[in-house]
Structure 1
Amino acid sequence: MPRRSSIGPALLFISLCVAWLFCACSGKAEDSSDGARWFKPCLSDCSATTAEHSAPPDTRPEEAQPQGEPEECNGIDDDLDGATDEDGANGCEVFMADKDGDKCGTEQQTSCVCVPHPPYTALKGGDCDDNNPDRNPLAEEICYNDVDEDCDGVALPDCAGKECGLDGCGGLCGACELGEVCTNGGCYPDDCLGDCSGKECGNDGCGNSCGECPLGQSCSGNQCLACAPSCTGKQCGPDGCGGSCGDCPEEHECMAGVCKPQGCQPYCTGKECGDDGCGGNCGACGPGQTCESGVCKSGPCTPQCTGKQCGDDGCNGSCGTCGPGQTCENGVCQSGPCTPQCNGKQCGDDGCSGSCGTCPAGTQCQGSACVTVCTPSCAGKQCGDNGCGGSCGTCPAGKSCVAGKCQEGACVPTCDGKTCGDDGCGGTCSVADGSVPGGRPAYIVAMVRLNPGGTSWARLAQYTFKASGEVSQSFWLWSFLNETDKTEVAQTVAPCDKDKCKVYAATRFPSGGGYPKALVGKWAMKDAKLAIDWSDGASESWKLADLCDRVRLDLAGSDYNVTHGIGYGSLAGLDQGASVAERMSLASVNLHGPYAVLSGDKLSSGETSFDFPGDWKGCSDSVAVRFAPAEPCGSCPNGETTSPVRYYIAWLGGRKEVMEHFCECLVTSGKCYNGNARLKSYLQVLGDTGAFHGWVGVEASLYPGGIHTMGWFRVTED
């Protein structure tokens, strides 16, 4: 028999390749001298390395083949397979996949490697969104954005299950009664003595722990008992005994025992309890309470699962869980990708366990709209007002609250010259009437429904509340279904505008034409919200935020498809107003706030701001003009993309005011423009003493034959 070559199988493959013994396109090699034959897909050249193309099988008897050793992490091909230090070799270390490069990975995707290589580069686990480098256990938590950055299952502020203590954002979850102390989120007598006699674990009766149970045991009745795995209703995650209830498929992660698409962001805005959209919950209710549609209520809760296979049952429970590869879409388990439903929404649930957007800093999502949130301020304070209508704590017997500190002796409130704010003794200075919402009888409100491709409308209203529970409103309404055009309301004069141009408003806002219209209803405070039932069958609810000399209304919900709503109330009468001349004499302040605009079928939203009076020029007691520098303008007839912009403000008396603006490039004859300008109707925000704080308003630029534009605005100091 011919003598066999001494080179190994991998080198034999290279030699054959160099010698062109590999068939050009047959995928079949020439016969070797000892009759061995092997097959391989056709290669166009011999550039492949042994790491890319495995060697031909050795046909010698096993006892005659070279015998390698088990692979070690040592840089040597111990097992003679042509590769070194493969994954799984002896001495390897387990690394987790880190797809987003934030140095944290997920325990569901691991590999034992000799040298870290993408994606297996992370030693720290717990990454709840491996497609977002801003969410991982090493990230810093950001308050008031409804996002769990550090992957601990909680978005700050967090008061779930707490009746007192810090909320994680400088505020408090509540204050204990006199004679009680706060321990681990619970209120206990200040002379409470913990008792762990006969207890191995659990609460000592004063909020502290009697011990932790070892792995494989759980605490039951203050005793550590053998653990029984619990996976009922769970697809994944811990079984309670150190084991697992299952693993999630690729591109999914385990959230509270349910496999959710990676990147799911818990959504708890406006909810005290219930499903957070990612398999977790937004908090727990107290004894005797049940969770109903995200709100803790007394008495039994009736689950609402008719026609639903999955999702929230309205009682802090679930209507069912979907199988692997399925998603819960509006209560129905669907196979394949879920289609988000975000038309007309700035934020909130998209129906696919995701979000329609996040709100900017200082705002929160309410009713799918971003509204300004009040941030409690208790830094350095033991007691007193937290700035949002709540308390930073109460003082024990014998002490009083003075400038946020508990001090010996009686405190004398100081409210001279003040109508609101801290009285220096833990209370507030107020002239408000406690028999009406927020202590204020008069409110101005701006509401819209912005529905791309559907019916959209805008409404400005003035509400008057009575202690009897009655409420009335006068309102102005515009709709895409009713084209309105414009009406002249004023004219500019020299020296502010030498051109002496007409100023226009959206028809209906000036007096006449059957507007304003009137409506009556009933009001009540329910679950800390203002609930209104109107005589036409419509209802709405609002959250109240005390801003010292005024109250802000943030829309909490309605049954007539409102997408954005804001309002303000004060002691100032609705017939009161600040003229342009009065405001032009004041120091300039920055007015800012959110907006949402629907132009045709295109919906946009964001933040707007400008200084007032700033660079505005007063034309008269009721008119001001501003000549702004070049801004983007898509309607210039000469093909330009930017143009200076002219703004007019006209005060119509009382709270009513209008703004008109247009691109200067549209002025083609003379110096004035009488075409389709942007028309906004505003109601002034006044404090209790009549101080001007900005506007709430709507846009109704509705021109026959033109592209309709409708919007909603808040431009205020807060």
Structure 2
Amino acid sequence: MRALLASTVAALVALPAVPAAAVAAAAPAGMYRFVVAIGGLKTTSRENWVRLATYSLTADGKAYDSHFHWSQRVRVNRSYTGVSGGDCGVRACQVQTANGFQATSSPKQLSGTYTVTGSVLRITWTGNGWEEWTVSEPIAGQLAKLTYRGSSFGATHGYGYGSNATWSNRASMAEIAAFDHTRLKHDYHLWKTDAGTPYLDEGAGNPFWKTGWQRCTSGRCLGGATTGTDYYLSTANATSTDRRDTIWHWRRELADGRGEHCYTGNSHVKPMLQIIDNAGGFHGWVAVEASLNQTSPSQGTSADDIGVFELSEF
């Protein structure tokens, strides 16, 4: 009997080890694709930055970021999108956006891992620190929301939403024009100056001040005006089919004062990413403002407007 037991144990020890099965990571509210606006904004700094990103998560706990980045440390001029506004209540001008946003793809990438503990999503970027968000579900089974908690790399504010819709799933300009924009709340954290003194312009819950949009001759642009100001909402360039949109606005008196039909001074440029749910429904944007001073050397960064915001239903 002892000989039989010994031979059985020896046989078990000799068996090759069986690798443990890969454990699927718990995706935030079951969602794997997120649009995120995040930034580091402090009144004590003139090196503030913002980032507009897509996060792609995988079932094995990996995280991939693709983003555009703007900082007060890098002085860049605005860029043209190749999209023109015309016959939509504004001057016929080619839309401008923050430098680089009109490119065919985002220039920066990160990779790392993620975990979800309770309602907290933690992403650790390889060589770039960690960030944490609280996860909620404004539409159960259709859309997740990320509320910013903190980071190790200097971010102070952020907005995020996620679903499993593909990155090419977006609302057309016709759909956006038909949407009731009074349903979108405007939450924002923007670094500005008053007589050269920095402050954060912050608010929550108010609709964006431009709600009525008209379709332009171009199928890629909407336009509208308030007293003295022209607003444009367009895709990031003339060919993109992803989630990118941009808002551009400026006061007509400033253009007239420079003898210009289309303003080339310090206009407001606001890159945005559409919030799309699993069923393809449109719910607004996460966005940044990256209006860096390009025309007032004497003012330097004091003429910058930079920050993060959302125009969303939630």
SS in 1 for 2:170: coil
2:147 is the alignment partner of 1:551: no
Q: Could you state the TM-score of these two structures normalised by the residue count of structure 2?
A: 0.80
Matched, 1:480 2:77: no
Residues 139-182 of structure 1 show CA distances to partners (whole Å, capped at 9, x for unaligned) of xxxxxxxxxxxxxxxxxxxxxxxxxxxxxxxxxxxxxxxxxxxx
CA distance in 2, matches of 1:567, 1:498: 31
In the alignment, the residues of structure 1 paired with residue 52 and residue 292 of structure 2 have an alpha-carbon distance, to the nearest angstrom, of 16
Quote the offset at 1:624 in angstroms.
0.7
- Residue 200 of structure 2 corresponds to 603
Query: Do residues 453 (structure 1) and 44 (structure 2) align?
Result: yes
Structure possessing the higher relative contact order (Cα contacts under 8 Å, 6 or more residues apart): 2
Is contact 2:235-2:244 (8 Å) kept? yes
Alignment partner of 1:667: what SS? helix
Give me the whole-angstrom Cα distance separating, in 1, the residues matched to 2:48 and 2:161. Answer: 23
Q: Residue in 1 aligned with 2:276?
A: 686
Write out aligned runs for 1:546-695 (5 A).
546-548=137-139, 549-587=142-180, 589-600=182-193, 601-607=198-204, 608-610=206-208, 614-619=211-216, 620-629=218-227, 644-652=228-236, 653-668=241-256, 669-695=259-285
> Could you tell me how far 1:553 is from its partner in structure 2?
0.3
Q: In 2, distance between residues paired with 1:603 and 1:485?
A: 23
Question: Secondary structure of 1:547's partner?
Answer: strand
What secondary structure is seen at the aligned counterpart in 1 of 2:278? coil
Cα drift, residue 565 of structure 1? 1.0
Distance (whole Å) between structure 2 residues aligned to residue 499 and residue 534 of structure 1: 44
Corresponding residue of 1:716: 312
Separation of aligned partners in 2, 1:572 and 1:677: 33
* 1:467 aligned residue: 59
* Separation in 1, partners of 2:208, 2:44: 31
Percent identity reads 29
Which residue of structure 1 lines up, in the alignment, with residue 4 of structure 2?
A: none
**Residue pairs, 1:254-653, within 5 angstroms:** 435-454=26-45, 455-497=47-89, 499-511=91-103, 515-548=106-139, 549-587=142-180, 589-600=182-193, 601-607=198-204, 608-610=206-208, 614-619=211-216, 620-629=218-227, 644-652=228-236, 653=241
Give the Cα separation in 2 of the matches to 1:566 and 1:658. Answer: 17
Contact kept, 8 Å, 2:27 with 2:116, in 1: the verdict is: no
| 8 Å Cα contact 2:177/2:215 also seen in 1 | yes
Aligned-residue Cα RMSD (Å) equals 2.1
- Aligned partners of 2:86 and 2:102: how far apart in 1? 24
Q: Letter of the aligned partner of 1:646 in structure 2?
A: D
* Aligned mates of 2:109, 2:89 — CA distance in 1: 38
- Higher share of residues assigned strand: 2
Alignment of 1:63-82 (within 5 A): none
Taking a change above 3 Å as real, the CA distance of residues 498 and 465 of structure 1, as seen in their structure-2 partners, is closer
Deviations 1:437-492 (A, max 9, x none): 21111000000111123231100110011110111010111111001211110343
Distance 1:610 1:708, change over 3 A: closer
Question: Any gaps of 5 or more consecutive residues in structure 2?
Answer: 1-23
Unaligned runs of 5+ in 1: 1-432, 630-643
Q: Secondary structure at the match of 2:219?
A: coil
Contact 2:85/2:95, CA 8 A, preserved across alignment: no
In structure 2, relative to structure 1, the CA distance for the partners of 1:498 and 1:709 (3 Å cut) is closer
Inter-CA distance 568–495: structure 2 relative to 1 (3 Å threshold): same
TM-score in terms of structure 1 length? 0.36
Q: Give the counterpart letter for 2:207 in structure 1.
A: S
- Give the distance between the partners of 1:510 and 1:496, measured in 2 at CA: 22
Question: CA 1:483/1:468 → structure 2, altered by over 3 Å: closer, same or farther?
Answer: same
Structure 1: 4+ residue segments shifted above 3 A: 490-494, 585-589
> How far has the Cα of 1:663 moved from its partner?
1.4
Deviations for 1:607-634, whole angstroms, at most 9, x for unmatched residues?
341388x4211102210111112xxxxx
Q: Which has the higher helix share?
A: 2
Residues 182 and 207 of structure 2 are in contact (CA less than 8 Å); yes or no, is this contact kept in structure 1? no
> Structure 2: which amino acid aligns with 1:460?
L
Matched, 1:700 2:290: yes
Q: Residue type of the partner of 2:312?
A: T
Structure 1 position 502, deviation (Å): 1.6
Once residues 709 and 499 of structure 1 are traced to their aligned partners in structure 2, the CA distance between those partners, rounded to angstroms, is: 23
- Go from structure 1 to structure 2 and tell me whether the alpha carbon gap of 1:576 and 1:645 turns closer, same or farther (over 3 Å shift): same
By how many angstroms is 1:572 displaced? 0.9
Using the TM superposition, give the Cα deviation of residue 544 of structure 1 relative to its aligned residue in structure 2, in angstroms: 0.5
What is the CA-CA distance between 1:711 and the residue it aligns to? Answer: 1.3
